[in-house]
Protein backbone atom coordinates (compact mmCIF):
# COMPACT_ATOMS: atom_id res chain seq x y z
CA UNK A 1 0.00 0.00 0.00
CA UNK A 2 1.33 3.41 -0.96
CA UNK A 3 0.75 6.08 1.66
CA UNK A 4 1.22 9.82 1.42
CA UNK A 5 0.74 10.17 5.17
CA UNK A 6 3.86 11.75 6.66
CA UNK A 7 4.19 11.29 10.40
CA UNK A 8 6.23 14.15 11.88
CA UNK A 9 8.87 13.60 14.53
CA UNK A 10 8.69 16.41 17.09
CA UNK A 11 11.62 15.37 19.25
CA UNK A 12 14.59 13.01 19.39
CA UNK A 13 16.66 11.66 22.25
CA UNK A 14 19.70 9.40 22.37
CA UNK A 15 22.11 7.94 24.91
CA UNK A 16 24.79 5.49 23.83
CA UNK A 17 28.52 4.84 23.73
CA UNK A 18 29.28 7.66 21.30
CA UNK A 19 27.28 10.41 22.99
CA UNK A 20 24.93 11.45 25.75
CA UNK A 21 22.50 13.24 23.41
CA UNK A 22 21.68 13.37 19.72
CA UNK A 23 24.19 16.06 18.81
CA UNK A 24 27.13 14.57 20.68
CA UNK A 25 26.33 11.06 19.43
CA UNK A 26 26.30 12.24 15.83
CA UNK A 27 29.60 13.99 16.44
CA UNK A 28 30.89 10.66 17.72
CA UNK A 29 29.72 9.04 14.49
CA UNK A 30 31.64 11.64 12.48
CA UNK A 31 34.83 11.36 14.54
CA UNK A 32 34.76 7.71 15.56
CA UNK A 33 34.75 8.60 19.24
CA UNK A 34 33.02 6.07 21.50
CA UNK A 35 33.36 4.47 24.92
CA UNK A 36 34.69 0.95 24.22
CA UNK A 37 35.62 -0.91 27.38
CA UNK A 38 35.58 -4.17 29.29
CA UNK A 39 32.27 -4.58 31.18
CA UNK A 40 33.71 -6.20 34.33
CA UNK A 41 32.01 -3.68 36.63
CA UNK A 42 28.59 -4.62 35.22
CA UNK A 43 28.98 -8.24 34.06
CA UNK A 44 30.21 -11.24 36.05
CA UNK A 45 31.70 -13.49 33.38
CA UNK A 46 34.88 -15.43 32.70
CA UNK A 47 35.04 -13.62 29.35
CA UNK A 48 35.27 -10.05 30.66
CA UNK A 49 39.04 -9.92 30.36
CA UNK A 50 38.86 -10.39 26.60
CA UNK A 51 35.70 -8.96 24.99
CA UNK A 52 35.14 -5.19 25.31
CA UNK A 53 31.80 -3.66 24.45
CA UNK A 54 30.38 -0.24 23.57
CA UNK A 55 28.99 1.02 26.88
CA UNK A 56 27.22 4.12 28.04
CA UNK A 57 30.04 6.03 29.84
CA UNK A 58 29.91 5.69 33.65
CA UNK A 59 29.39 9.44 34.06
CA UNK A 60 26.13 9.16 32.10
CA UNK A 61 24.92 6.39 34.42
CA UNK A 62 25.25 8.50 37.55
CA UNK A 63 21.96 9.13 39.25
CA UNK A 64 20.33 5.85 38.23
CA UNK A 65 17.87 4.89 40.98
CA UNK A 66 18.62 1.53 42.56
CA UNK A 67 15.11 0.22 41.97
CA UNK A 68 15.08 0.48 38.18
CA UNK A 69 17.14 -1.21 35.48
CA UNK A 70 19.68 0.46 33.25
CA UNK A 71 17.33 -0.11 30.32
CA UNK A 72 14.59 1.86 32.05
CA UNK A 73 17.03 4.57 33.09
CA UNK A 74 18.51 4.93 29.60
CA UNK A 75 15.11 5.27 27.95
CA UNK A 76 13.84 7.82 30.44
CA UNK A 77 16.90 9.98 29.77
CA UNK A 78 16.42 9.70 25.99
CA UNK A 79 12.69 10.42 26.29
CA UNK A 80 13.29 13.52 28.38
CA UNK A 81 15.63 14.79 25.66
CA UNK A 82 12.93 14.17 23.04
CA UNK A 83 10.34 16.12 25.03
CA UNK A 84 12.81 18.96 25.60
CA UNK A 85 13.64 19.16 21.89
CA UNK A 86 9.92 19.22 21.11
CA UNK A 87 9.48 22.07 23.59
CA UNK A 88 6.72 20.28 25.47
CA UNK A 89 6.30 18.43 28.74
CA UNK A 90 4.65 15.02 29.13
CA UNK A 91 2.02 16.68 31.32
CA UNK A 92 0.94 18.88 28.41
CA UNK A 93 0.06 15.72 26.48
CA UNK A 94 -1.81 13.94 29.26
CA UNK A 95 -5.20 14.94 27.84
CA UNK A 96 -4.24 13.42 24.48
CA UNK A 97 -4.15 9.81 23.35
CA UNK A 98 -0.44 9.17 23.83
CA UNK A 99 0.87 5.69 23.11
CA UNK A 100 4.17 4.11 24.08
CA UNK A 101 5.86 1.46 21.97
CA UNK A 102 9.40 0.40 22.83
CA UNK A 103 11.68 -2.23 21.37
CA UNK A 104 13.90 -4.23 23.72
CA UNK A 105 15.58 -7.59 23.88
CA UNK A 106 17.61 -7.88 27.08
CA UNK A 107 15.23 -6.09 29.42
CA UNK A 108 12.09 -8.18 28.83
CA UNK A 109 14.08 -11.44 28.92
CA UNK A 110 17.05 -11.18 31.23
CA UNK A 111 16.72 -8.54 33.91
CA UNK A 112 15.52 -11.20 36.37
CA UNK A 113 18.73 -13.18 35.89
CA UNK A 114 19.94 -12.67 39.48
CA UNK A 115 16.61 -13.96 40.77
CA UNK A 116 16.98 -17.03 38.57
CA UNK A 117 20.50 -17.67 39.84
CA UNK A 118 19.32 -17.43 43.44
CA UNK A 119 16.56 -19.95 42.73
CA UNK A 120 18.97 -22.38 41.03
CA UNK A 121 21.46 -22.19 43.88
CA UNK A 122 18.91 -22.49 46.67
CA UNK A 123 19.20 -18.91 47.86
CA UNK A 124 15.74 -17.74 46.80
CA UNK A 125 14.29 -15.30 49.36
CA UNK A 126 11.16 -13.22 49.93
CA UNK A 127 13.02 -10.30 48.36
CA UNK A 128 13.37 -12.36 45.18
CA UNK A 129 9.63 -13.08 45.30
CA UNK A 130 8.96 -9.36 45.35
CA UNK A 131 11.45 -8.83 42.54
CA UNK A 132 9.86 -11.53 40.42
CA UNK A 133 6.42 -9.99 40.99
CA UNK A 134 7.74 -6.61 39.87
CA UNK A 135 9.32 -8.23 36.81
CA UNK A 136 6.09 -9.95 35.78
CA UNK A 137 3.74 -7.07 36.58
CA UNK A 138 5.61 -4.18 34.96
CA UNK A 139 6.33 -4.74 31.26
CA UNK A 140 8.72 -2.12 29.94
CA UNK A 141 6.34 -0.06 27.80
CA UNK A 142 3.68 -0.12 30.52
CA UNK A 143 6.22 1.09 33.08
CA UNK A 144 7.31 3.94 30.76
CA UNK A 145 3.70 4.92 30.07
CA UNK A 146 2.97 5.07 33.79
CA UNK A 147 6.21 6.93 34.49
CA UNK A 148 5.16 9.78 32.20
CA UNK A 149 1.48 9.65 33.19
CA UNK A 150 0.09 8.57 29.82
CA UNK A 151 -3.15 6.62 29.43
CA UNK A 152 -2.92 5.48 25.82
CA UNK A 153 -1.99 2.04 24.47
CA UNK A 154 1.44 0.61 25.13
CA UNK A 155 3.45 -2.24 23.66
CA UNK A 156 6.87 -3.73 24.30
CA UNK A 157 8.25 -5.09 21.02
CA UNK A 158 10.49 -8.11 21.42
CA UNK A 159 11.37 -8.98 17.84
CA UNK A 160 14.96 -9.37 19.05
CA UNK A 161 17.36 -6.98 17.32
CA UNK A 162 14.64 -5.61 15.03
CA UNK A 163 12.60 -4.35 17.98
CA UNK A 164 13.66 -0.71 17.76
CA UNK A 165 12.86 -0.45 14.06
CA UNK A 166 9.54 -2.24 14.53
CA UNK A 167 8.68 0.15 17.37
CA UNK A 168 9.15 3.18 15.12
CA UNK A 169 7.12 1.56 12.35
CA UNK A 170 4.29 0.55 14.68
CA UNK A 171 4.21 4.05 16.16
CA UNK A 172 3.70 5.41 12.65
CA UNK A 173 0.79 3.03 12.08
CA UNK A 174 -0.81 3.91 15.43
CA UNK A 175 -0.94 7.55 14.39
CA UNK A 176 -1.85 6.91 10.77
CA UNK A 177 -4.82 4.70 11.71
CA UNK A 178 -6.11 7.18 14.30
CA UNK A 179 -5.34 5.07 17.35
CA UNK A 180 -3.13 7.79 18.91
CA UNK A 181 -2.54 11.53 18.73
CA UNK A 182 1.11 11.03 19.64
CA UNK A 183 3.42 8.10 20.34
CA UNK A 184 6.62 7.96 22.35
CA UNK A 185 8.59 5.23 20.64
CA UNK A 186 12.12 3.87 20.36
CA UNK A 187 14.25 1.21 21.96
CA UNK A 188 16.45 0.47 24.93
CA UNK A 189 18.79 -2.30 26.04
CA UNK A 190 21.63 -2.76 28.46
CA UNK A 191 24.74 -4.89 28.74
CA UNK A 192 24.07 -7.95 30.88
CA UNK A 193 25.56 -11.39 31.36
CA UNK A 194 23.19 -13.56 29.32
CA UNK A 195 23.53 -11.81 25.93
CA UNK A 196 27.19 -11.02 26.62
CA UNK A 197 28.07 -14.68 27.19
CA UNK A 198 25.56 -15.87 24.60
CA UNK A 199 27.02 -14.00 21.64
CA UNK A 200 30.53 -15.11 22.60
CA UNK A 201 29.39 -18.72 22.72
CA UNK A 202 27.76 -18.31 19.32
CA UNK A 203 31.30 -17.48 18.09
CA UNK A 204 30.24 -14.15 16.60
CA UNK A 205 31.80 -11.73 19.13
CA UNK A 206 35.22 -10.20 18.60
CA UNK A 207 37.75 -8.75 21.05
CA UNK A 208 38.58 -6.07 18.47
CA UNK A 209 36.48 -3.09 17.44
CA UNK A 210 34.10 -4.37 14.80
CA UNK A 211 34.79 -3.86 11.09
CA UNK A 212 31.47 -3.75 9.21
CA UNK A 213 31.64 -5.14 5.65
CA UNK A 214 35.44 -5.46 5.78
CA UNK A 215 37.13 -8.50 4.30
CA UNK A 216 39.00 -8.93 7.58
CA UNK A 217 35.93 -8.55 9.82
CA UNK A 218 36.01 -10.83 12.84
CA UNK A 219 32.59 -10.38 14.44
CA UNK A 220 30.34 -8.11 16.45
CA UNK A 221 30.67 -5.92 19.53
CA UNK A 222 27.70 -5.61 21.81
CA UNK A 223 26.56 -2.16 22.85
CA UNK A 224 23.94 -0.53 25.03
CA UNK A 225 21.83 2.59 25.14
CA UNK A 226 18.46 4.01 24.23
CA UNK A 227 16.82 6.17 21.61
CA UNK A 228 13.46 7.92 21.80
CA UNK A 229 11.32 9.56 19.12
CA UNK A 230 8.18 11.58 19.80
CA UNK A 231 5.85 11.06 16.84
CA UNK A 232 2.69 13.11 16.50
CA UNK A 233 -0.30 13.42 14.25
CA UNK A 234 0.25 16.33 11.80
CA UNK A 235 -2.79 18.15 13.17
CA UNK A 236 -1.54 17.90 16.75
CA UNK A 237 1.87 19.18 15.69
CA UNK A 238 0.16 22.13 14.02
CA UNK A 239 -2.15 22.83 16.97
CA UNK A 240 0.70 22.80 19.50
CA UNK A 241 3.20 24.54 17.21
CA UNK A 242 5.66 21.68 17.63
CA UNK A 243 8.99 21.68 15.77
CA UNK A 244 9.72 19.06 13.15
CA UNK A 245 12.90 16.99 13.28
CA UNK A 246 11.88 14.91 10.28
CA UNK A 247 9.29 12.36 9.20
CA UNK A 248 8.59 8.64 9.29
CA UNK A 249 7.31 7.87 5.80
CA UNK A 250 7.27 4.11 5.37
CA UNK A 251 7.58 0.86 7.29
CA UNK A 252 8.13 -2.72 6.21
CA UNK A 253 8.43 -5.94 8.18
CA UNK A 254 8.95 -9.48 6.91
CA UNK A 255 10.03 -12.77 8.44
CA UNK A 256 12.06 -15.32 6.53
CA UNK A 257 12.07 -18.12 9.13
CA UNK A 258 15.36 -19.46 7.80
CA UNK A 259 17.20 -20.20 11.06
CA UNK A 260 16.88 -19.32 14.78
CA UNK A 261 20.01 -17.14 14.76
CA UNK A 262 21.26 -16.81 11.16
CA UNK A 263 19.80 -14.63 8.39
CA UNK A 264 18.58 -16.07 5.11
CA UNK A 265 21.75 -15.91 2.94
CA UNK A 266 20.19 -13.74 0.21
CA UNK A 267 18.40 -11.56 2.73
CA UNK A 268 15.02 -12.42 1.18
CA UNK A 269 13.06 -11.28 4.23
CA UNK A 270 14.98 -8.01 4.33
CA UNK A 271 14.38 -7.53 0.61
CA UNK A 272 10.64 -7.74 1.26
CA UNK A 273 10.86 -5.37 4.21
CA UNK A 274 12.78 -2.85 2.08
CA UNK A 275 10.23 -3.18 -0.73
CA UNK A 276 7.22 -2.77 1.60
CA UNK A 277 8.71 0.33 3.26
CA UNK A 278 9.69 1.98 -0.02
CA UNK A 279 6.30 1.26 -1.56
CA UNK A 280 4.48 2.77 1.42
CA UNK A 281 6.71 5.86 1.26
CA UNK A 282 6.16 6.17 -2.49
CA UNK A 283 9.90 6.52 -3.17
CA UNK A 284 12.49 4.94 -5.44
CA UNK A 285 16.14 4.14 -4.66
CA UNK A 286 17.13 7.23 -6.65
CA UNK A 287 15.41 9.38 -4.00
CA UNK A 288 17.59 8.10 -1.13
CA UNK A 289 20.64 9.79 0.33
CA UNK A 290 21.69 6.58 2.10
CA UNK A 291 20.66 3.41 3.91
CA UNK A 292 21.82 2.99 7.50
CA UNK A 293 22.28 -0.77 7.59
CA UNK A 294 22.29 -3.27 10.45
CA UNK A 295 25.99 -3.86 9.67
CA UNK A 296 26.95 -6.05 12.63
CA UNK A 297 30.26 -7.16 11.02
CA UNK A 298 29.40 -10.83 11.35
CA UNK A 299 30.12 -12.94 8.28
CA UNK A 300 26.52 -14.06 7.73
CA UNK A 301 24.77 -10.76 8.47
CA UNK A 302 26.95 -8.61 6.25
CA UNK A 303 26.60 -11.02 3.33
CA UNK A 304 22.79 -11.23 3.59
CA UNK A 305 22.46 -7.48 4.00
CA UNK A 306 24.80 -6.64 1.13
CA UNK A 307 22.80 -8.96 -1.15
CA UNK A 308 19.50 -7.38 -0.12
CA UNK A 309 20.80 -3.84 -0.65
CA UNK A 310 22.04 -4.69 -4.13
CA UNK A 311 18.71 -6.27 -5.04
CA UNK A 312 16.32 -3.57 -3.75
CA UNK A 313 18.41 -0.42 -3.21
CA UNK A 314 21.05 -0.56 -5.95
CA UNK A 315 23.44 2.37 -6.01
CA UNK A 316 22.28 3.79 -2.66
CA UNK A 317 25.21 4.76 -0.37
CA UNK A 318 25.55 2.40 2.58
CA UNK A 319 26.43 3.56 6.08
CA UNK A 320 27.04 1.25 9.03
CA UNK A 321 26.92 3.05 12.38
CA UNK A 322 27.66 0.13 14.72
CA UNK A 323 31.36 0.98 14.58
CA UNK A 324 30.58 3.69 17.16
CA UNK A 325 27.48 2.34 18.93
CA UNK A 326 28.10 -1.39 18.98
CA UNK A 327 25.14 -3.70 18.55
CA UNK A 328 22.60 -2.32 21.00
CA UNK A 329 20.26 -5.27 20.42
CA UNK A 330 16.60 -4.25 20.82
CA UNK A 331 17.58 -0.58 20.82
CA UNK A 332 19.64 -0.80 17.62
CA UNK A 333 16.97 0.13 15.09
CA UNK A 334 15.81 3.14 17.10
CA UNK A 335 19.39 4.32 17.71
CA UNK A 336 20.07 4.11 13.98
CA UNK A 337 16.81 5.84 13.06
CA UNK A 338 17.73 8.79 15.29
CA UNK A 339 21.26 8.96 13.88
CA UNK A 340 19.82 8.80 10.36
CA UNK A 341 17.44 11.68 11.00
CA UNK A 342 20.32 13.70 12.40
CA UNK A 343 22.44 12.91 9.33
CA UNK A 344 19.62 14.25 7.13
CA UNK A 345 19.38 17.33 9.33
CA UNK A 346 23.13 17.96 9.24
CA UNK A 347 23.29 17.07 5.53
CA UNK A 348 26.31 14.92 6.30
CA UNK A 349 26.78 11.18 5.90
CA UNK A 350 29.46 9.74 8.24
CA UNK A 351 32.09 7.22 7.30
CA UNK A 352 31.55 3.62 8.35
CA UNK A 353 33.92 3.47 11.31
CA UNK A 354 35.93 0.25 11.32
CA UNK A 355 35.69 -0.51 7.61
CA UNK A 356 39.17 -1.28 6.24
CA UNK A 357 39.29 -3.53 3.20
CA UNK A 358 36.59 -4.39 0.63
CA UNK A 359 35.30 -7.95 0.59
CA UNK A 360 34.97 -9.15 -2.99
CA UNK A 361 32.24 -11.58 -1.90
CA UNK A 362 29.99 -8.75 -0.78
CA UNK A 363 30.21 -6.45 -3.82
CA UNK A 364 29.54 -3.58 -1.44
CA UNK A 365 31.76 -0.80 -0.15
CA UNK A 366 30.22 1.31 2.63
CA UNK A 367 30.99 4.97 3.21
CA UNK A 368 34.70 5.56 3.73
CA UNK A 369 34.66 9.27 4.56
CA UNK A 370 32.30 11.91 5.90
CA UNK A 371 30.38 13.12 2.86
CA UNK A 372 27.91 16.00 2.33
CA UNK A 373 24.49 14.87 1.13
CA UNK A 374 21.76 16.71 -0.76
CA UNK A 375 18.95 14.16 -0.99
CA UNK A 376 16.38 14.33 1.80
CA UNK A 377 15.34 10.70 2.36
CA UNK A 378 16.98 7.67 3.95
CA UNK A 379 16.26 4.09 5.04
CA UNK A 380 17.23 2.39 8.28
CA UNK A 381 16.95 -1.39 8.62
CA UNK A 382 17.40 -4.23 11.11
CA UNK A 383 17.85 -7.99 10.97
CA UNK A 384 17.18 -10.20 13.97
CA UNK A 385 17.18 -13.67 15.43
CA UNK A 386 14.12 -15.68 14.46
CA UNK A 387 14.18 -14.33 10.92
CA UNK A 388 12.77 -10.91 11.79
CA UNK A 389 13.52 -8.12 9.30
CA UNK A 390 12.34 -4.51 9.44
CA UNK A 391 12.95 -1.22 7.65
CA UNK A 392 11.74 2.35 8.00
CA UNK A 393 11.90 5.16 5.46
CA UNK A 394 12.74 8.54 6.96
CA UNK A 395 12.54 12.07 5.59
CA UNK A 396 14.26 15.29 6.57
CA UNK A 397 12.16 18.11 8.00
CA UNK A 398 12.36 19.87 4.64
CA UNK A 399 11.57 16.72 2.62
CA UNK A 400 9.28 17.54 -0.27
Catalytically active residues are: 161, 294, 327
Bridge pairing between strands 182-189 and 98-103: parallel
Kindly report the backbone phi and psi dihedral angles of residue 15, in degrees, each rounded to the nearest multiple of 5, phi listed first: -145, 115
Alpha-carbon gap, residue 284 to 306, rounded angstroms = 18
Q: Are 132 and 215 in contact (CB under 8 A)?
A: no
Alpha-carbon gap, residue 9 to 365, rounded angstroms = 31
Q: Are 75 and 144 in contact (CB under 8 A)?
A: yes
- Whole-Å CA distances, 136 to 107, 130, 140, 144, 194: 12, 10, 10, 15, 19
Alpha-carbon gap, residue 352 to 366, rounded angstroms = 6
Alpha-carbon gap, residue 47 to 193, rounded angstroms = 10
Alpha-carbon gap, residue 240 to 364, rounded angstroms = 44
Alpha-carbon gap, residue 366 to 358, rounded angstroms = 9
Checking 235-243 for CB contacts under 8 A at 24+ apart, the result is 236/96, 236/181, 236/182, 237/8, 237/10, 240/88, 240/92, 242/8, 242/10, 242/86, 242/87, 242/88, 243/10, 243/11, 243/85, 243/86, 243/87
Amino acid sequence: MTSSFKVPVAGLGLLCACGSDVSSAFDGALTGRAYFALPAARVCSTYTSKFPVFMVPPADCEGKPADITYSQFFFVQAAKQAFAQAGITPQQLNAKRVGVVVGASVHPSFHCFEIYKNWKTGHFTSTDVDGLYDYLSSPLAQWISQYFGFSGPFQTVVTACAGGTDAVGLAKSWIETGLCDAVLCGGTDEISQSPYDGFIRLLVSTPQRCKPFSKNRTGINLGEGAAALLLTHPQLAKDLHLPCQGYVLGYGNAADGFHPTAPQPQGLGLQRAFAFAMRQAGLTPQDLAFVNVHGTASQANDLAEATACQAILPGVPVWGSKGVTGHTLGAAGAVEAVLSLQALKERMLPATVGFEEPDENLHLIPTTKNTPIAKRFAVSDSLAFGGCNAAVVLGASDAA
